[in-house]
Copies of this chain bind each other. A is one copy, B any other.
């Protein structure tokens, strides 16, 4: 599987319209046109958003005949989850050490 670029994922998720599209797809796959319908937006714009979402592996899309069906892909969010996890564990380890030092200080008091 091709690697996921964290920069792309975060940039993709930073836009509220794209997040709305994701949430909509969360209920199940949809053709691009139906994805566009409730958003006050042209189909062209949706197509542009879709390219961004696909590049970040947050959605997968497949064209059959004249209709492009869009569905959630988990790779993007998983990559983000891991990115967060990496940082969180690092920081918490540091805070733990800090806590230990403070406790040691107390003992020495």
The chain A residues found within 8 Å of chain B, CB to CB, are: 7, 10-11, 13-14, 16, 19, 22-23, 26-28, 72, 74, 77, 80-81, 84, 87-88, 90-91, 94
State the main secondary structure of chain A at its contact with B: helix
Which residues in B have their C-beta under 8 angstroms from that of A88?
74, 77, 81
What are the nearest 4 A-B pairs in CB distance?
A14-B14, A10-B14, A11-B14, A10-B13
**A27-B77 CB under 8 A given contacts A10-B14, A14-B11:** no
Give the distance in Å from the alpha carbon of A11 to the alpha carbon of B13 in the complex: 8
Contact A94 B26 (CB under 8 A): yes
Which residues in B have their C-beta under 8 angstroms from that of A81?
81, 84, 88
